[in-house]
Structure 1
Amino acid sequence: MESTKTFSYEEASEASLKYFDGDELAARVWVNKYAMKDSFGNIYERSPEDMHWRIANEIARIENKYPNPLSAQEIFELLGHFRYIIPAGSPMTGIGNRQQVASLSNCFVIGLEGDADSYGAIMRIDEEQVQLMKRRGGVGHDLSHIRPKGSPVNNSALTSTGLVPFMERYSNSTREVAQDGRRGALMLSVSVKHPDSEAFIDAKMTEGKVTGANVSVKIDDEFMQAAVDGKPYVQQFPIGSDNPDVRKEISARDLWKKIVHNAWKSAEPGVLFWDTILRESIPDCYADLGFRTVSTNPCGEIPLCPYDSCRLLSINLYSYVNNPFTPEATFDFDKFAKHVQLAQRIMDDIVDLEMEKIDLIMEKIQIDPQSDEVKGAEYHLWEKIKKKSGMGRRTGVGITAEGDMLAAMGLRYGTDEATDFSVSVHRTLALNAYRSSVVMAKERGAFEIFDAKREEANPFINRLREADAQLYEDMVKYGRRNIACLTIAPTGTTSLMTQTTSGIEPVFMPVYKRRRKVNPNDTDVHVDFVDEVGDSFEEYIVYHKKFLEWMKVNNIDTTKKYTQEEIDALVEKSPYYKATANDVDWLMKVRMQGAIQKWVDHSISVTVNLPNDVDEELVNKLYVEAWKSGCKGCTIYRDGSRSGVMISVSKKDKKKDSSAQDEPLPCKHPVVTEVRPKELECDVVRFQNNKEKWVAFVGLLDGYPYEIFTGLQDDDEGIMLPKSVTKGKIIKHIGDDGSRRYDFQFENKRGYKTTVEGLSEKFNPEYWNYAKLISGVLRYRMPIDHVIKLVGSLQLKSESINTWKNGVERALKKYIVDGTEAKGQKCPNCGQETLVYQEGCLICSNCGASRCG
């Protein structure tokens, strides 16, 4: 029976901090993202232990429907402390959660059968995309069915506008649908054979355009070969027609150069090697039965047919290394094989749990107060998803911590030796996942359209057959429970809780590269340098805990202070040396991806991270090598290349040459700087409250509020600022005894610098303590409107502290992006929930009433 006991945020944070051995970031991530909550924010779990028991009990309930069931205790031991098996975000939050109605699937692909080029079809896809995103799902769909620009249409427009306006439509829909600051992710794809593919490829090069979508172009072998050989290539529409309406010959090499240039400049488009995907796809053996692959999910690791979805789970490879970071290190293949079989079984149970969730969603739709005309489209959408999910029972078993596993084994990421070892691990993974699926077919029944004859020529199936003849014989005899089983997805914030690197990426820890200013768009940098001499390694390394484990195993002092030269020498001795994102041999990385891909039936989400100064020719070589190596897709990220790509720019913003960072897609890490820089730019905000003069010092990192000091402007306390001072710096000063203080420094009109020392001591201590709390929230990038809502909800006893609270709200309002909706607030004039922020004021978009202050 589900518990109704609730816990305060403080109780859950304290228990989780203890669970994660003092790791504040991991504890915060769990409480904010994965603890079971209702729609009002009430927390029903005290720590991850409660969550793992919730999941274990639900999976055990499904197990009891079938022969040889696993017990809840056995399942809990696999899940506990994120050591072995880690469900992805949607299953982790949704399994056993009866407080909210949401799917367990991470991502979906949609697409209508037949002629889907009408406005009605285009708008139906738009609606289905929105309906899925509001249930927490990412969505992918293909645009190759839309007629090219200039084609005749049977309406008053006379000719088609082509692909690009519809890219913007779908992108805008994604931006509209948000869940408490998180929005769904979108993948838009198109075939390179489409006559408008060049416009598609260029669409995101215009700043502020298509900011709510990832875009990928589907490249066929004919095009790649023509690009390599310098030969012409024929585009047509419809792309699969023997008698197309539109046909044009282009230079494949010229279009390929544009793809390479745009990827070099902006990290998009991604490239999907479509013939490789279709050739290797087991579900496409059933294409005529509805399993024809048309696009991928937003991160690209699951090529899907329309209305199928993926549920994800990762196995922590680091946990199978015995005696890590020592000469005696070994990989426990026997335990790994056993756990892979159990992981596949758990994934199949999650399919059953997802079918239950879909039933609940459909029941909710039926009782919603809207008319059947309004509800019909959403209900039919879930009917299609339920049918496809039940027919194929597709799963997504993957891995995490590959980079840590290799380092713990004494292998350097990107070398031939490391690649060979990784391939042996993934071969073991594939054979045992498929063995488990065959055993389940014997015990529970095969997926309903299984046909061994259809799969006889599939390359992946034949690799399994060659590696394990008995497995193949049993598969032919009993069938298989799941149409496809494997993937490698980015594990995102779950890697913070496992304290490992995510996916198959190398570690992101350039501790030996001093960077005075960290690029805000460089999500691979998780360190901060504050002094010339340096702090202890705990203060240097804020993300990658396994490096500290290596130091401790090798009796290296992790608490002493190190010079930069000592750091350089120390890191060169470690197994992580030359294994950071910017240091690996990039060609070896894509070859490693291609070698591993042969044992992954779906795809691998991986990004090739490059330094800023690489040229376009290297990007070209990497893409071509990825195609030749058998990769199903490839994304290139050059340091800093995303600047401006995910930014929504208004006319006013353009005039000011300022930018408002749009929230990163769920497949990317949020830009969080854990360790405070020594200096921060600062805005000085003055305001009057109840005839009292107040001042706020707002520390900014990359233009975004990072911390706040505020209180009465009291000359007697030493805050004597000329009225002309509106900007300055907040400087963190560390004394010889380790004490810390914050100073404010500004320049007067003549250019002389003045420093106000001990800023934190200038205000009421009670204000200071609350300011530290709010600064902590700002540091982790909570949207400003949510911070203001949080501050407004504080229950404070004294009138003076409530006045201070109002001051904080006023100081922060100026940083809210114009157009942000004030959710839950009604216009005092017309009573509608149509208030939006504009220059720090609330404006009603319905009646025009305004309220400032």
Structure 2
Amino acid sequence: MEKKAVSPEEVQKATLDYFKGDDLAAKVWATKYALKDSFGNTYEKNPDDMHRRLAKEIAKIEKKYPNALSENELFELFRNFKYIVPQGGPMTGIGNEYQIASLSNCFVIGFDANSDSYGAIIKIDEEQVQLMKRRGGVGHDLSHIRPKGSPVKNSALTSTGIVPFMERYSNSTREVAQDGRRGALMLSVSIKHPDSESFIDAKMESGKVTGANVSVKIDDDFMDAAINNKEYMQQYPIYSDNPTNKKEINANALWKKIVHNAWQSAEPGILFWDTIIRESVPDCYADLGFRTVSTNPCGEIPLCPYDSCRLIAINLYSYVKNPFTPQAEFDFDLYQKHVGYAQRIMDDIIDLEMEKIDMIIEKIESDPEDNEIKNTEYQLWEKIRYKTLQGRRTGVGTTAEGDMLAALGLRYGTDEATDFSEKVHRATALAAYRSSVVMAKERGAFAVFDAEREKNNPFINRLREADPKLYEDMVKYGRRNIACLTIAPTGTTSIMTQTTSGIEPVFKPVYMRRRKVNPNDKDVRVDFVDENGDSWEEYIVFHHKFVTWMEANGYDASMHYTKEEIDELVQKSPYYKATANDVDWLKKVQMQGRIQKWVDHSISVTINLPNDASEELVGQLYEEAWRSGCKGVTVYRDGSRAGVLVEVKEEKKESDEKEHCFCYNETQLKRPKELECEVVRFQNAKDKWIAFVGLLDGRPYEIFTGLSDDDEGILLPKSVTSGKIIKVVDEDGNKRYDFQFSNKRGFKTTVEGLSHKFDKEFWNYAKLISGVLRYGMPIDQVIKLVSGLQLDSESINTWKNGVERALKKYIPDGKPSDQLCPHCKEGNLIYQEGCLRCESCGYSRCG
């Protein structure tokens, strides 16, 4: 039966109703997950339609096996994102007849044999692109590439080393990641490789390797040498008994560089490789093709070449009975039952993935190109098909850990909360593995299962100690899946479930400037205003689960509260002192280590630190992560350099920007009818801002900026980053400025009266600043001028800060600042990507 398209208006109304007015959640679902064809037609009105689609397809697979779950049972598990939440690839791909794409989220690629040749490097590049075009993130390791200066038997005489190939793979990612295609890449290298220091430094140069995450694989010997200030031997090949290259290094010095770079730029991430391999159940079958070589881009799934991950999350908050009350308790019986279902559903999704892979292979075969051209892509998917069937790897995870703890009255980061979290993840592991054993009895074990190979694996032995009967049955019947568990970032899915990703606490109270809304709309949020109902003062807006806590404890969430009353309530809440900046970071790492013992893959979590966190703290966190048994760790210090997939602009020629002055000629002073425009979005403290910067010859010529306020008509898709500002004069001689952009299908859209969209006071000051820009004052001096304005209104001062942030990105990289570094007091501050960086001590500041 042919599906009927749904109008955008119907989708908007239905999704807003579904998400109870949460515009962001509605947009996320409609943009990323609603069923669409290649012409942009939408065939689902809201997530109920999507969940029915998923339930219908998975029920078809269930019918092939004993004790099948029905379509309605599956739908109720998915409905309202309450219990089981399939992640990105499965959510968009299952039952999607309009797209030939894999259901897997991510892949790892590589070769077991010697692959240090240009042919192998280029083949990996092509495989990476072929996977990304099907929506897959990719990870691969570079430890096989010869170090810089090694002799080669070609006209170059010596090898260029790892770094140039990092840039090659990064550029391929940036090329393919456009128009809705996903581009996510993880590059890793062993610390044992002689080029590992160059790898660690590669992203410190502005604009380099912007299309990849990078992680260094660190072994126990290196950590011991770094902590105890001993020498460490690097070699190539890294696993050879007779290496061709050997280099003894100061491990502590290299460790400090890793810590410094992570402190400054949030990379590299660290993979504790000996822990990963020691704990890995699939590596019991390393000689059969399951040797782990790298991870997916987010690091939660260590994988062998041509294996992949499909993800599903279980919403922990939904298993708390009587949440936020003294009677709150966790329903372990229902939870373990649903974990078992989730594992079954994951195995069903593998069968659906096989259907998708067969469609991809059929598509490749039917393409009109020569077989010689298609051969790499064809072989790639044949290898993926084989590996998927051999191991039937799954990724059952959790989300809303912070909400679960708060609902139980436990404060995230305390010993009591960590004890309970470990108990939950122990139950998760036992239930998932029990389900996999039952499926092995009903459906058959994964192809290479051998209990003898696994008998010394630490993770398997933990299961055996916790549930001897489970282990006895696993030896007897086998297991359906080679590995089962992970904790992945739930990203946009968490927006729709109104929870957070991974094991982060959800509640982050923020001060916001809002118009008064219906105070009874408490399912989504409640707006707290002062006793006079003045909606323009700043008060806290709470996550909807805080409203649940209020009501459970006898407070009327529809009332108006003063700020002092709200502050008092906050301190009574289990969310108090449980936000990212409040938690004891060492406790957080220790919690991750304890949970990791019950996760057979890995945990993707980033430790968020304030801007003033020291390098010493980063080193302590990394060291504690290793000691606690974490498999990997990443830190992000607020204000450190922006992440991957940022736009790299062409370097201006020296003549484009004079050292002290840039002046337009008389012709250029007369504004053209149309100007190229860049759209700059940013958050300044609590407010979201948008700036339209008109450019002439690539340099700012005029600026319009103010609060990004949907009510006033600034409704732009997030993908819009450029367009044109058009000057329009009507019949009466009245002037206005319109903004025009092209959507993804090439159709032009015009936002009329841009000059009237923002506050009139903002507009008047913008005209003044635009005049200064037009007459050629250097950008850094314009910013200095704006910064020095003495303005009375708090709102106009906030706007002033927004103008500064919008213009900073146009300061040429490397331009010196006349300020002193606040950290080392030296006068060596330069601009880099709009941020100030000290060349003496490495201090950086953005915004």
TMscore range, shorter length: 0.7 to 0.9
Q: Which amino acid aligns with 2:446?
A: F
Superposition map of 1:510-659 within 5 A: 510-511=509-510, 544-558=543-557, 562-643=561-642, 646-647=645-646, 648-652=648-652
1:459-496 Cα shifts (integer Å, max 9, x gaps)? 00000000000000000000000000000000000011
Superposition map of 1:368-379 within 5 A: 368-379=367-378
Distance 1:530 1:65 in 2: 57
* Residue in 2 that maps onto 1:272: 271
Preserved contact between residue 729 and residue 746 of structure 1 (Cα < 8 Å): no
Residue 112 of structure 1 and its aligned partner are, at CA, apart by: 1.3
Residue 421 of structure 1 and its aligned partner are, at CA, apart by: 0.3
SS in 2 for 1:249: strand
Distance 1:683 1:291 in 2: 52
Residue 12 of structure 1 and its aligned partner are, at CA, apart by: 1.4
1:25-72 Cα shifts (integer Å, max 9, x gaps)? 111111111011111111111211111111111111001111111111
1:495-538 Cα shifts (integer Å, max 9, x gaps)? 11111111111225142699xxxxxxxxxxx9999999997799
Residue 247 of structure 1 and its aligned partner are, at CA, apart by: 0.3
Preserved contact between residue 208 and residue 646 of structure 1 (Cα < 8 Å): no
* Residue in 1 that maps onto 2:470: 471
Preserved contact between residue 528 and residue 540 of structure 2 (Cα < 8 Å): no
Specify whether residues 502 and 717 from structure 1 end up closer, same or farther in structure 2 by C-alpha distance, changes over 3 A only.
farther
Q: Which amino acid aligns with 2:295?
A: T
Distance 2:89 2:373 in 1: 27
Specify whether residues 537 and 83 from structure 1 end up closer, same or farther in structure 2 by C-alpha distance, changes over 3 A only.
farther
SS in 2 for 1:41: coil
Specify whether residues 716 and 265 from structure 1 end up closer, same or farther in structure 2 by C-alpha distance, changes over 3 A only.
same
Give the TM-score taking structure 2 as reference length: 0.78
Residue 547 of structure 1 and its aligned partner are, at CA, apart by: 2.5
SS in 2 for 1:262: helix
Residue 556 of structure 1 and its aligned partner are, at CA, apart by: 3.6
Distance 1:510 1:349 in 2: 40
SS in 2 for 1:652: coil
Preserved contact between residue 691 and residue 703 of structure 2 (Cα < 8 Å): no
Distance 2:133 2:526 in 1: 35
Distance 1:314 1:327 in 2: 28
Specify whether residues 699 and 495 from structure 1 end up closer, same or farther in structure 2 by C-alpha distance, changes over 3 A only.
same
Preserved contact between residue 148 and residue 161 of structure 1 (Cα < 8 Å): yes
Distance 1:281 1:305 in 2: 11
Specify whether residues 145 and 732 from structure 1 end up closer, same or farther in structure 2 by C-alpha distance, changes over 3 A only.
same
1:649-673 Cα shifts (integer Å, max 9, x gaps)? 420299779xx9999xxxxxx9886
SS in 2 for 1:746: helix
Preserved contact between residue 684 and residue 698 of structure 1 (Cα < 8 Å): no
Corresponding residue pairs, total: 714
| 2:494 is aligned with 1:498 | no
Preserved contact between residue 190 and residue 218 of structure 1 (Cα < 8 Å): yes
Specify whether residues 540 and 487 from structure 1 end up closer, same or farther in structure 2 by C-alpha distance, changes over 3 A only.
farther
Q: Which amino acid aligns with 2:630?
A: C
Specify whether residues 750 and 221 from structure 1 end up closer, same or farther in structure 2 by C-alpha distance, changes over 3 A only.
closer
> Which ranges in structure 1 are unaligned for 5 or more consecutive residues?
515-525, 664-669, 687-694, 722-727, 734-740, 754-814, 817-853
Residue 677 of structure 1 and its aligned partner are, at CA, apart by: 3.6
Residue 599 of structure 1 and its aligned partner are, at CA, apart by: 0.2
Distance 2:532 2:237 in 1: 64
Residue 381 of structure 1 and its aligned partner are, at CA, apart by: 0.1
Q: Percent identity?
A: 69
Residue 74 of structure 1 and its aligned partner are, at CA, apart by: 0.8
Distance 1:196 1:168 in 2: 15
Preserved contact between residue 104 and residue 353 of structure 2 (Cα < 8 Å): yes
* Residue in 1 that maps onto 2:252: 253
Preserved contact between residue 79 and residue 85 of structure 1 (Cα < 8 Å): yes
SS in 1 for 2:764: strand
Preserved contact between residue 62 and residue 352 of structure 1 (Cα < 8 Å): yes
* Residue in 1 that maps onto 2:764: 745
Distance 1:175 1:653 in 2: 24
* Residue in 2 that maps onto 1:397: 396
Preserved contact between residue 533 and residue 562 of structure 1 (Cα < 8 Å): no
Preserved contact between residue 322 and residue 331 of structure 1 (Cα < 8 Å): yes
Preserved contact between residue 538 and residue 559 of structure 1 (Cα < 8 Å): no
Q: Which amino acid aligns with 1:745?
A: N
Tell me the C-alpha RMSD between the 2 structures.
3.7
Distance 1:275 1:616 in 2: 25
* Residue in 2 that maps onto 1:69: 68
* Residue in 1 that maps onto 2:10: 11
Preserved contact between residue 485 and residue 601 of structure 1 (Cα < 8 Å): yes
> Which ranges in structure 2 are unaligned for 5 or more consecutive residues?
514-524, 660-675, 697-701, 717-724, 738-753, 773-808, 811-847
Distance 2:677 2:730 in 1: 35
SS in 2 for 1:15: helix
Specify whether residues 173 and 749 from structure 1 end up closer, same or farther in structure 2 by C-alpha distance, changes over 3 A only.
closer
Specify whether residues 321 and 529 from structure 1 end up closer, same or farther in structure 2 by C-alpha distance, changes over 3 A only.
closer
Distance 1:195 1:114 in 2: 20
Preserved contact between residue 396 and residue 484 of structure 2 (Cα < 8 Å): yes
SS in 2 for 1:454: helix
Specify whether residues 352 and 617 from structure 1 end up closer, same or farther in structure 2 by C-alpha distance, changes over 3 A only.
same
* Residue in 1 that maps onto 2:143: 144
Specify whether residues 109 and 531 from structure 1 end up closer, same or farther in structure 2 by C-alpha distance, changes over 3 A only.
farther
Q: Which amino acid aligns with 1:170?
A: Y
Preserved contact between residue 729 and residue 745 of structure 1 (Cα < 8 Å): no
Q: Which amino acid aligns with 1:270?
A: G
Distance 1:224 1:375 in 2: 45
Distance 1:164 1:534 in 2: 60
SS in 1 for 2:259: helix
Distance 1:223 1:499 in 2: 41
Superposition map of 1:398-437 within 5 A: 398-437=397-436
Specify whether residues 168 and 538 from structure 1 end up closer, same or farther in structure 2 by C-alpha distance, changes over 3 A only.
farther
Q: Which amino acid aligns with 2:238?
A: I
Q: Which amino acid aligns with 1:652?
A: K
Which one is further off, 533-542 or 215-224? Answer: 533-542
Distance 1:534 1:244 in 2: 75
Superposition map of 1:645-724 within 5 A: 646-647=645-646, 648-652=648-652, 677=687, 699=706, 712-713=728-729
1:367-390 Cα shifts (integer Å, max 9, x gaps)? 011110111110000000000000
Specify whether residues 710 and 720 from structure 1 end up closer, same or farther in structure 2 by C-alpha distance, changes over 3 A only.
closer
Which one is further off, 501-510 or 596-605? Answer: 501-510
Distance 1:642 1:661 in 2: 25
Q: Which amino acid aligns with 1:650?
A: E
Residue 183 of structure 1 and its aligned partner are, at CA, apart by: 3.1
Specify whether residues 747 and 96 from structure 1 end up closer, same or farther in structure 2 by C-alpha distance, changes over 3 A only.
closer
Distance 2:489 2:241 in 1: 39
Residue 679 of structure 1 and its aligned partner are, at CA, apart by: 7.4
| 2:240 is aligned with 1:221 | no
Distance 1:202 1:528 in 2: 47
Distance 1:678 1:36 in 2: 30
Distance 1:676 1:711 in 2: 32
Residue 302 of structure 1 and its aligned partner are, at CA, apart by: 0.1
1:300-326 Cα shifts (integer Å, max 9, x gaps)? 000000000000000000000011111
Preserved contact between residue 144 and residue 190 of structure 1 (Cα < 8 Å): yes
* Residue in 1 that maps onto 2:203: 204
* Residue in 1 that maps onto 2:317: 318
Specify whether residues 231 and 94 from structure 1 end up closer, same or farther in structure 2 by C-alpha distance, changes over 3 A only.
same
Preserved contact between residue 33 and residue 91 of structure 2 (Cα < 8 Å): yes
| 2:359 is aligned with 1:360 | yes
Preserved contact between residue 678 and residue 692 of structure 2 (Cα < 8 Å): no
Specify whether residues 710 and 120 from structure 1 end up closer, same or farther in structure 2 by C-alpha distance, changes over 3 A only.
closer
Q: Which amino acid aligns with 2:442?
A: E
Distance 2:613 2:436 in 1: 45
* Residue in 2 that maps onto 1:178: 177
* Residue in 1 that maps onto 2:836: none
